[in-house]
Structure 1
């Protein structure tokens, strides 16, 4: 018979709880277990506490995400606890209680888990439980819904004192299985892992059953018809039209990536008569407002307001929001408060359209939206049985600008060079384009792989990671409507576009007398016209965002070198090269840099070479096609074959921070072809 270890049992329970959005949100809550292990120094048994560490997520928790503490030392901290005014010092003291090496840093909630006299403890943030926690008469409702099995705990900021309070409640209420933490969430316990999980789920399900049975049918009041959801296509079109402006608003202080949600629950909330008042109250659970800020920016125009009207009003409301947030900071700051982190909204709500959420990366932006949806669910529950009453702004500030929260932010790793940037790369399902997309994603960018072949684009995107990292879209760059649609997909996925790479291309190798009008038109349509259409559509977005940006043309050595038998291709590349110069001059006033890359002889992985160009060039030079890369290398100064990755490196460099003052440049990536030197 095998016995499951205490950490393994805890992780299994945590993963089950964390995978259910009704139980807790992403990275929300924490769990623990107490047990005995052998001290490798003394060989004697020692009591330990395993608890989810700081910053982890229950749904994906592994043993590395647990903090492991000696229970005797952790509980001995009670004797040296200096009082609630200095309770933050206890977090540093947890380090002196750690057992062994490795593991995660102990979180602020460690005291709750260690001091409560139960083998297993769960602290969770279920919407149904927080509805009681934020109800005006939550204490009375808790007794009505749960009897004496669940005890009300008035709001207290997480920390050592809250751990002492809950431990006392457990001692004084032996019949209780858990508690409702005012303004915050729930805590439950049990003698076994199964019992703790069962008790947690009982509280959550009982809370929801009470809401379902006793809650008002329309907790948000009547529907305001002028704010009702727009039809699907109109809603998405308006979202795409507004998103660059809204992203610029959210990125005034610091660049952000965006996420859009038109979840029916969001649209229902925005169409209700109570939405303005409830939105103004802000969120309550610390896990919520640390992601969403204390309150959202709500557009106060009807759903059918024009895009132009909406943009003008959003910009006005942004100024109001910034002034309001600054006043909130100034009203509650103390001499040792961290500096204000920015006064822009993280959540922007547009009636009839949906919710726009923002973060330092796509996952953070998406999770912020999920947390605000949790907040809407909480408001709905609280309003259905009482009135929604979040914690005060003063208490929110104590959490948001907590020294411990600041320390957590300072521990975050340094951002990569292209973090927060959204890259749109054409012809990116193979060859040079795929290498560019891969490099930019590795450097932290969100990447849109745009290609004529949708299946290949989606497959290439999947290789880079989840849709938080990359998406694939279909586009024929010769069709302006398709270009606009592909950019709209990019906007709806990530909030906008910052970096555009015109890479889509085709080539036919023929001498002048064999080059047909159709050959000429095909190459110019794809590369010259296609680059123009993509740059024009992207420029509108870049200008509206107001965040600057980059446009890069993958031109060619042939844009300046007169090679044999490729009149149409080389003339098209010369067209692209001059577009770089023209657009650099025109878009510079908007902070948009336009540069070009001139590769040569990129044979490996190239879609162009594989489609017949390689065979034709090999015939022109009188060599075997499989030796074409070697041939190109030998004619260069450096005697090196040029690979797609070499071109990708140049794109990453010219669009990175080290070249912030460079525009109108063409970078040769040809291993040195003297005849193509720029002059």
Structure 2
């Protein structure tokens, strides 16, 4: 096959790779799905679905039957695997036409899909299953390219479809996905037997082919034609989105403004349940939010169901100036009325459109927040959902741009949108979601987290559902550490805890990446063990700076963020048994650790009324995996106890009551207990030392 050239989509078909799958149509179908999903101009994350039909032997009769393999409910075609598809008897699926009772009974058909299952390991069939099954083609792609949705959402969509493709593409008006829409596609094909695809009003496109490759090429060619048509028309009617009326701040100032306001927005968006944030100042976003037409287009809402299911019916547009002073205490009061109005309007939308059996109203807060001149924020239950919502709204912006260039943009009527958003089948899907983890919706910033105890803490909090911001003074170690986490779980920031500016930059990074911070863990440290006569002022100063001043600055800057959110929070300081026990050759380190412990109590007393809890974890004898034992501390402690360095682990294990070796993971468990379990404890010390009687706090 010769390589095709496209301008608006990526041609990713690899002949050699496809040849290795020859004869296995399901593998080729999965391959096609993955490369289609790899280009977000072709379909957005989780959007669209693909299928193929093969001849299989019926396990009961031994006869050959046609089986349709189609993407199951949920999932993403870009990462689709064999476990994510459903296999159904095509004839049985088509036989459902005999029992279909009409569009008012649409939802009952979904349960009947299960009676058509051929492959017992099938994923639950999606609502789009009949759209594939009622068409006769061996390979089918249902995609949501921005260019096609722009045409589908244009005021004169049908006429534009004919102008671009003539009689080679069909068109059906908007209808909610389901069995009846499958019948509409079937009828469209019967009336137009020579078409290569069908445009779905306000929705997307169906294309097909006799082979996986033919279907792939057909999809690309249709999208290419739509994209070229829009490109040709952009600007002909006048400036995009009516022209720009606001000038963006420069990139550095956009990021600074976003970092300042993100915790406030997060707090306001979290009035019902905590949210995680995402920020982007993508050029496509800025072109839209700075335009004259934003006041016209943003309230209209999105058109494609995939868009508004993730972005809500419409965004909240802030009326702040790009250069507004965001440091004032009145920012929350200034923004609160806009959020209250949004919630009232969303509630009115629900009340006006609900049915007798509609699910209860969901969170009325905005998902998408637009700040002209600065960028776009999105808030959702986790980072991935917030990021994907942002990507979908960019898709919606692309659609509005295209539709306005070739005609006029139209959105779904509010009732149609509501019937999708509060669809009982969609509600059932939400109810099947797994239970959230203990630290879901929480953001933790940990100092000294590129290794040792700090990394163990970050690992534990992330494993329990938190987003983590790992900070350290070593850029190389940070890069290695952050690479151990999956996407959308962690970010990193260089942070010198003795430098206020560096700390502020780390918190800004947390606010830009996740919207704010809930848990602050000061784990950065070092240890110097010397007798009084050998302890230098430099020794004293560095311990005071890193352990005490660092803890103070982390709390001071961190509490500013916590107060902006008004969601309470947790501060956990990693101190030491040495802050309680008077040991030899330890005057500088022990004093610093004692200061950390008492500062924790002072802050707990000051901040308790704001639901900000401040606690201490006291490790002891953490040798294995601990960074402080990489230096001269081990030699100093061995000398103090009159033993060899290599005997230290056994020495520390034997001296605690439980005779246990203490690991970094044990300290991490202590932190987790304080932030996730002991939710009414503040000013406390949790000793994680195997039991040291001389360190008992009472």
Q: When the two structures are superposed, what TM-score results if normalisation uses the length of structure 2?
A: 0.95
- Per the alignment, residue 403 of structure 1 pairs with 424
Q: Distance in 1 between matches of 2:542 and 2:145?
A: 58
Alignment of 1:355-504 (within 5 A): 355-466=376-487, 468-504=488-524
Summarize deviations over 1:615-641 as a string: whole Å, max 9, x none.
211121122212211111101110001
1:104 is aligned to 2:146? no
- Per the alignment, residue 313 of structure 2 pairs with 294
Q: Which runs of 4+ in 1 moved over 4 A?
A: 308-312
Q: Distance in 2 between matches of 1:613 and 1:601?
A: 12
Summarize deviations over 1:170-221 as a string: whole Å, max 9, x none.
1221111111111111111222222222222122111111111233342300
TM-superposed CA distance for 1:378, in Å, is: 0.2
TM-superposed CA distance for 1:310, in Å, is: 6.1
- Per the alignment, residue 86 of structure 1 pairs with 105
TM-superposed CA distance for 1:304, in Å, is: 2.4
Conserved 8 A contact 2:171-2:188: no
Conserved 8 A contact 1:447-1:469: yes
Conserved 8 A contact 2:86-2:119: no
Gaps of 5+ in 1: none
Alignment of 1:59-70 (within 5 A): 59-70=78-89
Q: Distance in 2 between matches of 1:587 and 1:340?
A: 35
TM-superposed CA distance for 1:66, in Å, is: 0.6
Q: Distance in 2 between matches of 1:76 and 1:636?
A: 73
Moved more, 304-313 or 90-99: 304-313
- Per the alignment, residue 73 of structure 1 pairs with 92
Moved more, 215-224 or 264-273: 215-224
Q: When the two structures are superposed, what TM-score results if normalisation uses the length of structure 1?
A: 0.98
Q: Distance in 2 between matches of 1:167 and 1:122?
A: 15
Q: Distance in 2 between matches of 1:193 and 1:146?
A: 22
- Per the alignment, residue 325 of structure 2 pairs with 306
Give the CA RMSD over aligned residues: 1.3
- Per the alignment, residue 125 of structure 1 pairs with 144
TM-superposed CA distance for 1:311, in Å, is: 5.0
- Per the alignment, residue 64 of structure 2 pairs with 45
- Per the alignment, residue 635 of structure 1 pairs with 655
- Per the alignment, residue 671 of structure 2 pairs with 651
Summarize deviations over 1:582-621 as a string: whole Å, max 9, x none.
1112122222111110110000111111111112111211
Conserved 8 A contact 1:458-1:471: no
Alignment of 1:182-197 (within 5 A): 182-197=201-216
TM-superposed CA distance for 1:263, in Å, is: 0.3
Alignment of 1:316-335 (within 5 A): 316-335=337-356
User: What is the aligned counterpart of 1:345 among 349, 366, 380?
Assistant: 366
User: What is the aligned counterpart of 1:557 among 567, 572, 577?
Assistant: 577
Alignment of 1:650-669 (within 5 A): 650-656=670-676, 658-669=677-688
1:532 is aligned to 2:552? yes
1:574 is aligned to 2:594? yes
Secondary structure in 2 matching 1:609: helix
Q: Distance in 2 between matches of 1:675 and 1:303?
A: 58
TM-superposed CA distance for 1:661, in Å, is: 1.5
Summarize deviations over 1:547-577 as a string: whole Å, max 9, x none.
1111101111111111111111111111111
Q: Distance in 1 between matches of 2:476 and 2:383?
A: 23
Summarize deviations over 1:412-434 as a string: whole Å, max 9, x none.
11111111111100001111101
User: What is the aligned counterpart of 1:136 among 152, 155, 161?
Assistant: 155
TM-superposed CA distance for 1:312, in Å, is: 4.4
Gaps of 5+ in 2: 1-18
